[in-house]
Copies of this chain bind each other. A is one copy, B any other.
Amino acid sequence: MLVRCSSSERGGQQRSNAAVRVNGAAHRATLQVGAALETSINETLAELSAPLLAPAPATDGRERSRQNIPTEKQAEDPFRQAQIVEGGVRYQQTVVVRSYEVGPDRTATLETILNLLQETALNHVWMSGLLGDGFGATHGMIKSNLIWVVSRMHVQVDHYPLWGDVLEIDTWVGSSGKNGMRRDWLIRGRGSGNIYVRATSTWVMMNKNTRRLSKMPEEVRGEISPWFIDRHAIREEATEKIIKLDSNAKHVDSDLKTIPDQFLQHHQLSSIILEYRKECGSSDVVQSICQPDEDSVSPSENVSMVRGPSLLPEVINGHHSLAGALQQWPTKYTHLLQLKAGDVHEEIVRGRTTWKKKL
């Protein structure tokens, strides 16, 4: 089954099969796709697609400006409980995990974590006094009609924070090749200092009108490079290439639920890498594909107990099912979200996920 992503902004009647949207509605579009996917149980690619593409500002004339954008560098933002530290290169913000940001086990959802990454990144640029439009574009970028888009994201969750936990989120930027920028994050428990989440991302610039990637103009490099530091939240040995899946993959099209429910009951995501290839618009039809690494089964799991005929269906399917806990599941998966338009199914995002048993 496919999910059609529609948007109130564009009118429900309108549908387009264009592979790449070329107007300013990409912001809403991206969020719509995220929301649609989110209703599927598979939270893997779902929640991740939403906040990671840097949204283009609305161009429909109804835009209202963000309040109080500073044109000068700020050292402190008392209401956001944020400060710029380490001579200006590191942004730090304190947040408390809220009641509506957690799942049924009272730990922060992955969506919450990604939201906080987006929020602190934008606030960092905001406090740096570089902000032109509220979406992280600098003044130089706005002059050249450029916006930020994320091309790669790697999030590693060591522990999911609990409802009520006080978190300290640090973020900073560095260089990434000739035309890119790296942004890293660390999320720590304020009391313990324990690291909950590490994340790194790569950003490139896109022309807002042509939707083509752009070189980094010298003016923009001059604006942002003074903030660059060479520090890595995740030590990535060599960047693993994510293979391209096709329709021969094990799970295709299944209502975007490419990770089995039983697996999700007993496992949680510990690492996700996403490589963005294409924009995705509000009326695009998308499809999710997933391939387990069959050789990634956790060696500690006992298979022999599981698939015998002695378990009643009630036990196997029940809320407190042991089957899901005991069944042998791969712990690594490759993912693909692609457009379902015409004969060529263009890739939107490739992903790799790693899962571990819930405690």
Cβ-neighbour of A64 out of B27, B64, B105, B265 (below 8 A): B105
In the complex with contacts A27-B104, A39-B35, A96-B80, A321-B11 CB distance below 8 A: yes
| Chain B residues with CB under 8 A of A163 | 66-67, 134
**A214 touches B (CB below 8 Å):** no
Q: Which of A115-123, A150-158, A234-242, A296-304 forms part of the interface with chain B?
A: A115-123
**Contact of B100 with A115 in the complex, beta carbons under 8 Å:** yes
**Contact of B64 with A262 in the complex, beta carbons under 8 Å:** no
Interface majority SS (helix, strand, loop, mixed), chain A: loop
**A164 touches B (CB below 8 Å):** yes
**A187 touches B (CB below 8 Å):** no
How many copies of this chain sit in the oligomeric assembly?
A: 2
In the complex with contacts A81-B81, A107-B64, A119-B99, A41-B162 CB distance below 8 A: no
| Chain B residues with CB under 8 A of A62 | 105, 358
**A308 touches B (CB below 8 Å):** no
Q: Which residue of B lies closest to A255 (CB)?
A: B12
Query: CB-CB contacts of A162-192 with B at 8 A, as 1s and 0s?
Result: 1111100000000000000000000000100
Q: Which residue of B lies closest to A112 (CB)?
A: B100
Docked Cα-Cα span, A320 to B12, in Å, equals 14
Which of the four size classes fits the interface of chain A?
35 or more
Closest Cβ of chain B: how far from A337's Cβ, in Å?
16
**Contact of A104 with B28 in the complex, beta carbons under 8 Å:** yes
| Chain B residues with CB under 8 A of A58 | 104-106
**A247 touches B (CB below 8 Å):** no
Closest Cβ of chain B: how far from A38's Cβ, in Å?
6
**Contact of A320 with B60 in the complex, beta carbons under 8 Å:** yes
Docked Cα-Cα span, A190 to B43, in Å, equals 36
Query: CB-CB contacts of A1-29 with B at 8 A, as 1s and 0s?
Result: 00000111111111000000001010110
Query: CB-CB contacts of A90-107 with B at 8 A, as 1s and 0s?
Result: 000010101110011111
Query: CB-CB contacts of A304-347 with B at 8 A, as 1s and 0s?
Result: 00000000000001111100100000000000000000000000
A-B contact pairs, 29 of them (CB 8 A): A6-B41, A8-B261, A8-B265, A9-B104, A9-B265, A10-B319, A11-B265, A11-B321, A13-B261, A14-B317, A23-B319, A25-B104, A35-B38, A35-B39, A38-B39, A39-B39, A51-B100, A58-B104, A58-B106, A60-B319, A64-B105, A64-B107, A65-B106, A67-B163, A79-B94, A98-B115, A100-B115, A100-B118, A134-B163
5 smallest A-B Cβ distances: which pairs?
A: A12-B261, A28-B104, A67-B164, A8-B41, A100-B115
